[in-house]
Amino acid sequence: MNKNWVSKKTDYNYGFKIATLLKDVFKGVLSPNFNSDDSKKLLLFLKEFYPQRWERLRGLADALGIGIDSLYVNTLCLAKLIKGACTAGFCAPPVTKDGNIYLFWNIDFFKAAQIVGKFFRFYLFDVPGYHCYLAFGIPGLIGVPIINEFGLAVVLASVGMKDGGGKGVMDAEILSLCMERSKDINEVIDIYKNTKLASFPGVTGGSLLNLNSIWADRNGQGLIIEHSSHHRHFELAKDGILAIANHHQFIRELTGSPTPDELPSIAGSYCRLGRMWHLLRESKGKITLALIKQFMADHKLEKEHVNDYNYIEPIDDGTICVHYWHLKQYLREGNFKRAIETYLMGKTVGSIIIEPKSLTIHTCSGNPCNHSYRPIYLESALLHKKFPRIVNKPMNPLLASLFKKTSIGLATLLERVLS
């Protein structure tokens, strides 16, 4: 990928500048107590296959006065914290009534992980020589790309698999690589095909380390990408609709992505995915923004999608709009093991609908069934760079301390659960 390098100095300076502007934020977020056995080898792979990102981290680390190894450990641990049971979809003409293109994404986390989200913000990645894009996260450290200046957009869902390892970059990194280099779906496919990938082995969803993704561009093309360390699959939208959840649909037998027979808690993913496909197929030619908002607030549980498996009743996260449907019941019954499993599956904490053609996103904080969406018009931000690049608000010392304690505890818990 070195042929696309603008300059080492440009990338290094970006990281250094971010650290200078957000020094108080990083002091509140970074912890010396994180550890990860994978971090050193993954950092070496990052330097080899995505050196631009490595240089940005080096600039960030130098400005903060810490080692790049220590900084990258924090990145990996935060990626493991952002664990959820998301559901996402895509639709484009001719299935949309209004002729628009839509990507939509319900974001599900377990409740305690919301403390992490309090320190995330929308920010603009704007480095000379690369495509400008909007992301959500902690600038320079960890972020989820959403849409770039050419209308290329992505939505995600974590996924577990047995085929882990590999010598390459993680999902959280290749997303940014694609967003800063690509204008359309074809260029995304080219990057994925020519970049070595690494995956995190574990049958539960691997947070930002393992991801299913749907990409869309302004031409109306839609694409699902499923992959492990040694297998990858590209599923184009043949009839204008796509959907993903927290398991592999197309290469499950190759990757070891679990079924409800192997992992009873994954039954909810099968129900959510089946329900989303059902809604999209039965609504062809009628889909509008208003109808998509109804999809995201949907509470119908379709158990027919797990009839061929030995799943366990009740199914906890089987609706597109996820609530803690049975958590209180488990606690009353003293079924603490099931209560913890249900809690970690999470609930819907936010939702995003993206319109690539108009460079617009609609955001909802909370369950879409009882919270409203707010439109954010991004044309000025992405094309004319009139967006606050970084929101640099002082961090409350008490919140910073709570963040560190919570994030370390959650990282330790997830390390045990996912191992």
pTM reported for the whole predicted model = 0.90
- Strand 102-109 vs strand 211-216: parallel, antiparallel, or unpaired? unpaired
- Residues whose CB is less than 8 angstroms from the CB of residue 322 and which lie 6 or more positions away in sequence, other chains included: 85, 106, 108, 268, 272, 345, 346, 347, 348, 367
The 10s digit of each residue's pLDDT in 225-281 is 999 999 999 999 989 999 999 999 999 999 999 999 998 889 999 999 999 999 999
Residue ranges covered by each domain of the chain: 2-418
What pLDDT was estimated at residue 280? Answer: 98
The 10s digit of each residue's pLDDT in 314-331 is 998 999 999 999 999 999
Q: Is the pLDDT of residue 410 over 50?
A: no
Q: Is the pLDDT of residue 13 over 90?
A: yes
d(CA 369, CA 380): 30
d(CA 320, CA 352): 13
The 10s digit of each residue's pLDDT in 175-220 is 999 999 999 999 999 999 999 999 988 766 556 779 999 999 999 9
- Residues whose CB is less than 8 angstroms from the CB of residue 65 and which lie 6 or more positions away in sequence, other chains included: none
What pLDDT was estimated at residue 30? Answer: 86
What pLDDT was estimated at residue 83? Answer: 59
Residue 360: C-alpha distances to residues 98, 210, 235, 376, 378 (Å): 15, 27, 25, 6, 6
d(CA 199, CA 211): 9
pLDDT band at 116 (very low <50, low <70, confident <90, very high): low
Average pLDDT over residues 110-135: 80
The 10s digit of each residue's pLDDT in 360-402 is 999 999 999 999 999 999 998 887 765 444 433 444 444 445 4
pLDDT band at 89 (very low <50, low <70, confident <90, very high): very high
Structure tokens at 72: 């990258």
What pLDDT was estimated at residue 82? Answer: 62
CATH of 2-418, one of 1.10.540.10, 3.90.1150.10, 3.60.60.10, 3.40.50.720: 3.60.60.10
